[in-house]
Amino acid sequence: MDTQMTMTAAAFEADFAYDRPALLARRNAKWRQYDPDVIPAFVADMDFRVAPAIQAAIRASVDAEDYGYPMRDGKKADRAVLEAFAHRMKGLYGWEAQADLSMAIADLVQATFASVMAFTQPGDGVIVQVPNYPPFRAAVNDTGRSFVPMPMKPEGDGYVFDLDQLAATMPPSTRMLILCNPQNPTGRVFSRAELQAVLAFAQKHDLLVLSDEIHSDLIYAGNTHLPFAALGPAAEARTITLNSATKSFNIPGLRTAVINFGTEALKARFERHFPARVVGSVNSLGIDATVAAWQDSSDWLCGLIAHLSAMRDHVYTRITRDIPMIRMKKPEATYLTWLDCSDLGLSGTAFDFFHTHARIGFSPGENFLPGAERLVRLNFATSRVIIDEMIDRMAEAVQRNTR
């Protein structure tokens, strides 16, 4: 890591990281789900103050007591989010993600369920990468569709999928592929070649692609995010894209996101099943915060990525040195890492072991993949001092268990 990144990371932590007493005093789920002596490292929420531009945008509405039906620049307020999204996609990726083909939505889990229901029928197969963000599995199973796994297998420094194996095992009724890129929980950023292979597969088998790209801002050096729909007209014709500022700018409670349809036909098909009044609308504070994030907070985001990159490397160094029986591959994106604790000789689940003996609350591996009880997902979006305490506790618990 170069000196400039180290300085930027340190400055970000000094200015924006909450200490533990401040975190315990807040009312968010991450620090309130467990007893105060437990270090939470589960839900995808960060322990940092938001970007100044976001706070200023919210404060302006609060100070003006501006809580009525919102408009921005003479238009419906959610149009500001859609235009900010389109401008951002064009500037970052050269992708013409038209505002007219997008909808503002409060929750991407809701958008996932709605998309599965709008574009498939009960009994249809829906492909999902495994391990996977648990609501993807729920969106398939809870709506009566057939879950079709696409395993992410460890290979080299990361995880890969095998489309030939998928083709040999998926049922002929398969209609959709849910793509998570960057992938949660493995942290993979898929290359252009990998995405083009997925596109060819989707064309061959006539699949729609629901591409969740919520972590796309959180990319580490040496990797580049490419929106699936940006592959070209053939991709746009079969792609629904999900995105939001909530993960990368730490504003999930403001519940504002975007669903983009690659064509007018896809949008019309969705709206036949879910008219705008059914989908609902987003709130005015979330609108202002999202616009401020996407338009005015790039410096904060650069500092965040520098800090997260430093913490990712620190976690990897400490685990490989102090707990070498735990297998970890450096994520290429996100602030989440997938830890394989299979070699620890545990009698129960890895989650239960570390919760009981180290007082750490990870995300249980079995939530992401049935049978993955010896794995956990760790969230490293916090300060170095909290990470060090976490890994110290893990190492001590493992040492006691192996005596």
Residue holding tokens 């916090």?
382
What φ, ψ does residue 332 adopt, rounded to 5°? -85, -10
- The answer to whether 211 and 179 have CB atoms below 8 angstroms apart is yes
In this prediction the pTM is 0.95
Number of CB atoms found within 10 A of residue 93's CB? 16
C-alpha 233 chain-centroid distance: 26
Name the helix (H) or strand (E) containing 319.
helix 298-322
CA angle 343–31–362, rounded 5-degree value:
10
Strand bridging mode 75-76 / 39-41: unpaired
| CA distances (Å), origin 244, targets 32, 133, 239, 304, 395 | 24, 16, 17, 17, 36
Cα–Cα dist 190/124, whole Å: 26
**Bridge partners for 379 per DSSP:** 336
**Bridge partners for 393 per DSSP:** none
pLDDT of residue 74: 86
User: What pLDDT tens digit does each residue of the chain (403 aa) get?
Assistant: 333 444 488 999 999 999 999 999 999 999 999 999 999 999 999 999 999 999 999 999 999 999 998 889 888 889 999 999 999 999 999 999 999 999 999 999 999 999 999 999 999 999 999 999 999 999 999 999 999 999 999 999 999 999 999 999 999 999 999 999 999 999 999 999 999 999 999 999 999 999 999 999 999 999 999 999 999 999 999 999 999 999 999 999 999 999 999 999 999 999 999 998 898 889 999 999 999 999 999 999 999 999 999 999 999 999 999 999 999 999 999 999 999 999 999 999 999 999 999 999 999 999 999 999 999 999 999 999 999 999 999 999 999 998 6
Instruction: Respond yes or no on whether the N-terminal peptide bond of residue 185 is cis (omega within 30° of 0).
Output: yes
| CA distances (Å), origin 273, targets 32, 115, 208 | 37, 9, 16
3-50+298-402 and 57-296: identical CATH topology: no
Cα–Cα dist 72/287, whole Å: 10
Q: Which CATH architecture has domain 3-50+298-402?
A: Alpha-Beta Complex (3.90)
pLDDT of residue 333: 98
Query: DSSP strand E in 232-333: where?
Result: 239-243, 257-261, 327-328
State both tokens at 5. Answer: 């990144």
- The answer to whether 218 and 308 have CB atoms below 8 angstroms apart is yes
Give the CA count within 13 Å in the CB-facing half-sphere of 97.
32
- The answer to whether 212 and 182 have CB atoms below 8 angstroms apart is no
> Which residues contact residue 337 at a Cβ distance below 8 angstroms, ignoring those fewer than 6 apart?
185, 187, 312, 315, 316, 328, 329, 330, 331, 377, 378, 380
Residue-wise pLDDT for 159-181, tens only, equals 999 999 999 999 999 999 999 99
pLDDT of residue 281: 87
DSSP states of 85-149: HHHHHHHHH-----GGGEEEES-HHHHHHHHHHHH--TT-EEEEEES--HHHHHHHHTTTPEEEE
- The answer to whether 210 and 259 have CB atoms below 8 angstroms apart is no
Q: Which CATH architecture has domain 57-296?
A: 3-Layer(aba) Sandwich (3.40)
Cα–Cα dist 376/339, whole Å: 5
Domain ranges of the chain: 3-50+298-402, 57-296
- The answer to whether 40 and 386 have CB atoms below 8 angstroms apart is no
**Residue (of 62, 330, 356) closest to 219 by Cα position:** 330
State both tokens at 330. Answer: 């450096």
pLDDT of residue 277: 85
**Residue (of 402, 350, 398) closest to 377 by Cα position:** 350
> Which residues contact residue 200 at a Cβ distance below 8 angstroms, ignoring those fewer than 6 apart?
none
Cα–Cα dist 10/233, whole Å: 43
Residue-wise pLDDT for 13-23, tens only, equals 999 999 999 99
Per-residue DSSP letter, 17: B
- The answer to whether 369 and 377 have CB atoms below 8 angstroms apart is no
Cα–Cα dist 150/164, whole Å: 10
Sign of CA dihedral 185, 190, 194, 200: positive
